[in-house]
């Protein structure tokens, strides 16, 4: 059974930082691409960042230079380091892994507000 469990998000002030983690189980994690998405209220889910099985990364324009995705194939973890957070980063953040099928975590709320 595939499980993806995100860490708890939280409330962060503008300009602050937060690190999300996602623990994967039930799959050969190392061969999967891993992704972080987000969905703000009233908006469609959007891709934030991706890291491939060969550690190649790419980012949405709206987070480039502020967010960093990484992975640990020994611990079966994927991370999203978020710096210089802005109110518009407020959303539910989801991790996923993809090979021939995309598996999703349950999502975690991140709120950026003073």
Binned at pLDDT 50, 70 and 90, residue 71 comes out as very high
Contact 49, 63 (CB under 8 A): yes
Three-state secondary-structure class, residue 56 = coil
| The pLDDT value given to residue 29 | 92
- Mark 75-98 as b/e (b = at least 16 C-beta within 10 Å): ebbbbbebeebeeebbbbbbbbbe
What's the whole-number average pLDDT of the chain? 96
| The pLDDT value given to residue 14 | 98
| The pLDDT value given to residue 98 | 95
Binned at pLDDT 50, 70 and 90, residue 47 comes out as very high
Mean pLDDT, residues 78-97: 98
| The pLDDT value given to residue 86 | 97
């Amino acid at each position: 059974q595939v499980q993806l469990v995100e860490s708890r998000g939280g409330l962060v002030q503008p300009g602050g930082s937060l690190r999300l983690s996602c623990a994967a189980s039930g799959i050969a994690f190392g061969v999967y691409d891993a992704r972080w998405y987000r969905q703000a209220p009233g908006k469609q889910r959007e891709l934030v960042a991706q890291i491939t099985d060969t550690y190649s990364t790419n980012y949405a324009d709206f987070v480039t230079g502020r967010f960093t995705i990484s992975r640990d194939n020994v611990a079966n973890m994927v991370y999203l380091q978020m710096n210089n957070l802005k109110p518009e980063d407020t959303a539910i953040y989801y991790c996923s892994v993809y090979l021939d099928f995309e598996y999703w975590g349950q999502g975690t709320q991140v709120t950026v507000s003073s």
